[in-house]
Amino acid sequence: MPRLPPPDLLAAVPDLPPGRLVAPAGMPGAGPVLWVGEAPAAPGDWARHAGRHPVTGLWPVLLEGLDRDDLERPWLVGEFSGPADVVPVDVEAFLAGQHAGALEGDEEHPDGPGPAWPGLSPALPAVEDPLAAAARFADELVTRSGHHHLGLVAADRGADVLAAIGWFGAVNSDVAPATLSAVLRSWEDRFGVRVVALGFDTLHVSVAAPPASLPQALPVTAEHLAFCPGEVTQLGPGGVREHAAALVGHRAWGFWWD
């Protein structure tokens, strides 16, 4: 598992604005797992540091706090479980199991989550370079919100950021951050996904290879239902097809664990 460099080396990263290192709370002796910028991020910040990742080993992520304008929770207080390695996971078996139980016992959706598990979606053709798609989406986020801050995490790839800090964002779920990272690795490979932003309980990724039709989007929707059930179930009856239709051609996905 990569680790953040010591402060003197971190300070040598070009164009690094003022910020602080944050370690997981309640873990005596644990080193820092995250650098957080003091000021809101600006357009171009994410792209600049993503381009340097092969040299620095630091993956950029835009951070949003529980109260949007306040990063205290979870970022500044270190509300993380600490770093963990991303171990090999049978992603299809995991998602199939999650899909089967997504609406179990849900009285509002007695007919279940729609069609049976269709299997993993095949890889889809990219319509854009993954880093270019991520940089564009990052600039859209910081321009629209004005309150995201830049974070840097030592990770081999963007998908591993959740495991590297021990992100607790999948609230009301017993899924470990490293397992979420394993799914994201698979999405990186099949859909050109890149992790761009994290909140207290939200995740935003760019998508360079989105579904181009409803038939392509339906199995991707099944994966979303398994990964973050509320994104689909909150739509009520017909939510599977509604969610799938929204994915067609869309180059960003958002997840909220409520």
Q: Tell me if 101 is assigned to some domain.
A: no
Q: Has residue 59 got a pLDDT over 90?
A: yes
User: In this structure, which amino acid lies at residue 120?
Assistant: L
Please indicate whether residue 5 or residue 166 has the higher confidence score (pLDDT).
166
Residue at 113 is within a domain: no
pLDDT tens-digit series, residues 78-118: 999 999 999 889 999 999 999 988 856 444 444 444 568 99
Which H or E run contains 37? strand 34-40
Domain boundaries, position 252: 7-87+118-256
The mean predicted confidence, pLDDT, of the chain is 90
With a cut of 90, say whether residue 171 has pLDDT above it: no
Supply the pLDDT for residue 107: 45
Assess if residue 107 is contained within a domain: no
> Does 111 map to a domain?
no
- pLDDT tens-digit profile of 29-46? 778 999 999 999 999 999
Q: Quick one: pLDDT at residue 167?
A: 97
Q: Which amino acid is at 234?
A: Q
pLDDT digits (tens, 9 = 90+) for 112-170: 445 689 999 999 999 999 999 999 999 999 999 999 999 999 999 999 999 999 999 99
pLDDT of residue 98: 93
Within-domain flag for 99: no
Residue 95 CB: number of other CB atoms within 10 A? 22
Q: Which two tokens stand for residue 148?
A: 């995201």
- The count of structural domains within the chain is 1
The vertex-206 CA angle with 211 and 138, nearest 5°, equals 150
Give the model's pLDDT for residue 104: 61
Residue 185 lies inside a defined structural domain of this protein: yes
How high is the pLDDT of residue 235?
A: 57
Judged against a pLDDT cut of 90, whether residue 256 lies above it is answered with yes
Contact 64, 197 (CB under 8 A): yes
- pLDDT per position as a tens digit, 220-233: 999 999 999 887 76
The arithmetic mean of pLDDT across residues 63-82, rounded, is 92
pLDDT of amino acid 106: 47
- What's this model's pTM, rounded to 2 decimal places? 0.92
pLDDT at residue 173 in the model:
84
Phi, psi of 87 (to 5 degrees): -90, 155
Q: What is the pLDDT of residues 197-249, one digit of tens each?
A: 999 999 999 999 999 999 999 999 999 999 998 877 675 656 788 999 999 99
Q: Which residue type is seen at 2? A: P
- What confidence score (pLDDT) does residue 108 get? 45
Instruction: Tell me, yes or no, whether 102 lies in a domain.
Output: no
Task: Give the highest mean pLDDT range of 66-70, 165-169, 186-190.
Answer: 186-190
Decide if 136 is inside a domain: yes
